[in-house]
Amino acid sequence: MSDGAPSLPPMLATAWGLRERPNKGPRPALSVERVVAAAIDVARRDGLAAVSMSRVAAELGTVAMALYRYVSAKSELIALMADAAYGPAPELPRPGDTWRTALTAWTHGMLRGARENPWAVEVPITGPPLLPNSVDWFECALRCLAGTPLDGGEKVEVISMVGGLVRTRGQMEHQINAAIAASAPTSVPGGYGRMLSELLPRDRYPEVYGVIEEGVFGDEPGAPGDEDFDFALNVVFEGIEALIRTRA
């Protein structure tokens, strides 16, 4: 940062602790951190749609207008919530890690954050990482790839692709689990494969029947497990590994 740099948007100044506080006047009763934590509590209990300035204010025993001293709008609050949900990045790579083991740990850390805060995957992505924790995770992923011959642009694309895999899995798990909890018809209480076999003519969908008969779809409803995610992740990593070998 330099004195000649343009002014930061208020949200970034708030997130990075750069917003100036008045020297005079009463000491603030709250903090950005407390407001964000209260909003996350609401989202965990009742979903992202339940988060409003008035609801968060009620959680804190104050009025909605009081929150605008700490965040300028609900959209800013939501962005700060999403950044806080994942927390700081882990210390990676660990001694002895290859890029692949390190990035696997990074990916599972991101997925754990999405599972612990499923509302966070509903927050739209509006640009590259700019908030503290998101930049921390970005830096961590770059460290995981630091020993590879990939150039900077390729590393960024790899991180974007793997992060997208995490986000897609988090969204799918969240939506399937919500449908099951709501007893939605498409949650297929009797098992996905069983329902398909009742709906579909075998001669029209022979390949679908082949997958069903392999036992790919269990009888219990629910999102795919970690073994499915790890398979998809390893397919992606095999492609990255092949690219790296061409640079050796």
Residue 120 DSSP one-character state: G
Q: Are residues 100 and 135 in the same domain?
A: yes
Shared domain for 126 and 162, answered yes or no, is yes
Tokens of 130: 């700019």
State the pLDDT at residue 226. Answer: 84
Are residue 130 and residue 241 in the same domain, yes or no?
yes
Domain end call among 85, 108, 135 = 85
Per the model's pLDDT, the better-predicted residue between 17 and 62 turns out to be 62
16 lies in the same domain as 103: no
Counting beta carbons within 10 angstroms of the beta carbon of residue 1, is it exposed (0 to 12), middle (13 to 18) or buried (19 or more)?
exposed
Which of residues 184 and 144 earns the better pLDDT score?
144
Looking at the structure, do residues 163 and 222 belong to the same domain, yes or no?
yes
Tell me the three-class secondary structure of 168-192, residue by residue. HHHHHHHHHHHHHHCCCHHHCCCCH
Indicate the residue among 85, 109, 131 that finishes a domain: 85
pLDDT at residue 102 greater than cutoff 90: yes
Please tell me the distance from the alpha carbon of residue 59 to that of residue 180, in angstroms, as a whole number: 29
What would the mean pLDDT of 15-36 be, rounded to a whole number?
76
Report the number of distinct structural domains present in the chain.
2
202-220 tens-digit pLDDT? 999 999 999 999 988 876 6
**Residue range of the domain that includes 79:** 10-85
The residue-averaged pLDDT of 6-15 equals: 83
Q: Phi, psi (5° rounding) for residue 49?
A: -60, -20
Does 241 map to a domain?
yes
* 107 and 81 together in one domain: no
Please give the pLDDT value at position 114: 94
In a domain, 192, yes or no: no
In a domain, 14, yes or no: yes
